[in-house]
Amino acid sequence: MTRWLSDDEQRTWRSFGLATRLLTDRLERDLLAAADMPPTYYELLVLLSEAPERTMRMSELAHWTNSKPSRISHAINKLEQKGWVRREHCADDRRGWLAVLTDDGDAALRSAAPAHVAGVREHLIDLLTPEQLRHLEDISRVLLGHLAGRDPSSRSR
């Protein structure tokens, strides 16, 4: 038996879906306009910048971005062409590859970050009260925990 959505649930679902799509689209357009950088590249640069020695296994990048290894490999190829990342063999695993953030990649990230943060503030953070932000975090953690099958606060590398 199908549990249909009530009118209130339907309104909430549709508002949430449209808002998340519009927010994602806006942030993507803003980042491309400000830094000529797609969000995927920005996310990879952020992950590398936060990793020890600015280095991560390609498989870890795929895991943390919820991407297929082939998609990460393609993105890292593009980032290598820009000089923002270089690949290295894993010392302890001849089949494994590491992605390493270069100084140029760090500079590109630092250049793009202010515009991205400004967009996140303008289109999300500054629109909500502190209480609404706490609720949004709580809701997001519940969704992440369910969808990712893990505790999102335990983002160990």
Domain ranges of the chain: 22-112
Between 153 and 23, the higher pLDDT residue: 23
112's tokens: 């793009």
Locus of tokens 């009530």: 6
Give pLDDT, residue 148.
83
- The arrangement of secondary structure in 22-112, i.e. its CATH architecture, is Orthogonal Bundle (1.10)
What global pTM score does this model have? 0.84
CB proximity list for 5: less than 8 A, separation 6 or greater: 13
Mean pLDDT of the chain: 92
Q: Say whether pLDDT at 93 is over 90.
A: no
Give pLDDT, residue 155.
46
Q: Say whether pLDDT at 36 is over 60.
A: yes
* Residue pair 47/63 in contact by the 8 Å Cβ criterion: no
